[in-house]
Structure 1
Amino acid sequence: MAVNLADLNFYRAVNPDLAGLNDPQAFSHLINAGLNEGRVFSPYIDLNLYRAVNTDLAAAGLTSNRQLYDHLQNAGVAEGRSFSPVFNANFYRAANADLAAAGLNNEQLLDHFRAAGINEGRASAPNFSVSFYIAANPDLQAAGFNFQQALQHYVFAGIREGRTAAPGGPVAPPPPPPPADPGNTPGSALNVGTLIGTRAFDQFVGFDDREDYYRFDVNSPINLKVYLDGVTANADVFLYEDINRNGVIDSGESIDSSQFSGTSSETISRNLAVGNYFVLVKADSQGRNTNYTLRLVNETSETVDVGVLNGTRSFSDLVGRTDPRDHYRFNLTSPSSFNLTLDGLTANADVLLYEDINNNGLIDSGESIDSSQFSGTSSESISRNLSSGNYFIVVTGDQGNTSYNLKISATPGVRPQSTNPINLNDSAISEFTVDPLINPRSFNTANESAIQTFTANGNAGSDLTGGLGNTTANLLLNESFTGGNDFANLLAANPVETPDFSQGLALV
């Protein structure tokens, strides 16, 4: 069975921007954004350590924090893998005979330690005993630390400070170092692997390190978003496809770039096919030094799949500077009345609606249907009739972090609104401006092109222009009267003003 890894109270406490989120909102943020942003979510779990000591996971293609979290939750804890400097299931069982006698499995041992063992001061790893740690560090005693606080001090400070935390035991190894500086050529690019979710990198370019290259793979078509921000001097970002997969950037392989001046943030948004890609972060021509944060976002993999929408669904999450776009996908199996509200905002957020017209699972150019983009914290709403098909909702917000409540509903059994304007041609007329039988004047089409009048001689269609040809006009009139084709005599007699229905009048 899967074990719950997230400590939501801790997650909110160490991430002040999330303080206002309730448990479902905090968990949704962790899964959809926080993990791949590298946010800390538990003092007992270290995904960097899990990645470093379980090298088979990277070989199997599990490289993102979300992938590692899912594996640890569903398999890693049960398998007894190392994932924490303060807990080891095999050690905890061996050091506590009562737990071994109770026959607790690895997942139950972790739950026991978090719920009771830590507060009882039990030894929990070869290099960590919380009771010893407090006893060996008078400053922690003077500060009045309890066992929980002492454990957190060790994880976030004591390891780095080289403090011993077990009787006669060695100091725990420091956490793995951050990723190496990206290479300065495509051949030495930092290999991100298959891009799933969000990958974030805090790095530097400048006078002595003008270019940083990143390489990533796409194994199914995606909506890609690239963000470059946090700069103190100008830096730009470039996107390339390694079309021939030779590991270098050749002529004609440039896809896109963002090159604003000054310290403006840079953004690239593209649909990518299966293939290999490079991202280049480049210092300005003067080589001024700047730190930066680069985020590569596979928006397709982060989309919340609602499934068939029939009735009402509600979602709560957060958008902002570090997580500016949330995606939702839903399906309608029949024409429906669709309604959406977005509220509970503490900063500006907007909402956009798209139809996946070609059913490729991506948001393509020309698929936008509607949006609501009021300023400030005003609620947003969209209401319209939709045909059956697949749709996307995008919640956006980049002016400041805000939680939000999204409510969507669909009621089947309505006539859908067209999402594309109809341009009428020779085969259609939108409306009559007047009754041509009583007062023959003109027709009016949706594109307002002129259709000239019927003349008294009954030369139907020959004087129609701007969208009706002779064939179409005669066809319409022939379908309007069942009494024959002598249109001149019929119009002259005006069967509407002379109520003789022997001619078989049938109005269109």
Structure 2
Amino acid sequence: MSTTSVGVLSGTLVSQDNFTVTSSDPTDVFRFSLNQTRQIGLFLHDMTADADLYLYRDNNNNGLVDSSDPLLRQSTALGTTTDSIDYSATSGNYLAQVWRYSSVPSITYDLDLSSNFDIGSLGSSVISRDNNSVSASDPADLFELDFQGARNLNTNLHNISSGDDVDLYLYRDSNNNGIFDSNDAALTSATVGGNGDDLINYRTSSGGVTNYFVQARRYSGSGSATYNLDFSQTELTAPNNLLGVENQLGNLNGDITRSGAVSNSDMADIYAFQLSNYEGVNIRLDGMSADADIRLIRDFNNDRIIQSNEILRSSTNGGTIADVISNFNDTGSFYLQVDRYDNATGTVPATNYRVTFDHYNTTFV
């Protein structure tokens, strides 16, 4: 029997590939620990013959499966069918054991290990997970969620600690086993530099219940970082309801033009700006090949969630007709959201766009 130390199991996938159990050495043990309560995910696959999977708690912390270690869960699928374990565990030390079952002299296999926080099903309300942390020894947090039907999946990673950088990644649970493993498809990511907000607004296409994983990953070289993360789902015809600072324009004191694009994997872009006394702005969205709209927003309660009373102006012209918001001259901090129009039927094309902030001075406060 051999024991492999995996270290602290976090939201980073650990793949142990091309391991072998034989008639003379029929078991392998993988030792790992958790720093806090999480879901343990183990996925045994690509076996050349039948092997089984067991999870123990290492009560005496010796790295060996012995009589003092309770068996927590097992998976004993027949033949080369994959074995998986999804188990809610507290902090401590654990042992994953691969056991040769078949009489075949030598069996090779791959084992994936991960841990996640189970968000559960996304409904109509925003779910917030605040004061999370990642570090060099625990570099990623993984959040599992699910919902039914084609929807917009929205996430906003914000309030990253000063001087640090955390990025955001979205995966689909391709085999729908509730475990983050090497089969799961990477869908999109948001990797704004520094402690800028990272947002994902992704149009899903599944008609049934589908699991997804959202990973918050410490950028290499960053220190220990804290952050907040919000999750929501919206109807295909509804804009994203999470508010982040993707593009910071600062205080407008002149005209600014920016170009961007919105698509299935990035349904909305947000521009933050400020207006001081005696200032106003005209905003124009054009240069589109398909329909996109704009909304002007003020986050009155600073919760990064868009409520209906926080939408100050909007323009929703159809097709490629330019959208315009004219003569806005309030003082304060504001957000412009560029949102791709979705009629929830058929294929909705991506589009490039140009947005212009035409600054002007006023004679009044």
Which structure shows the bigger proportion of residues in helix conformation? Answer: 1
With a CA cutoff of 8 Å and minimum separation of 6, indicate the structure with the bigger relative contact order: 2
Which structure shows the bigger proportion of residues in strand conformation? Answer: 2
TM-score after normalising by structure 1: 0.29
Larger Rg: 1
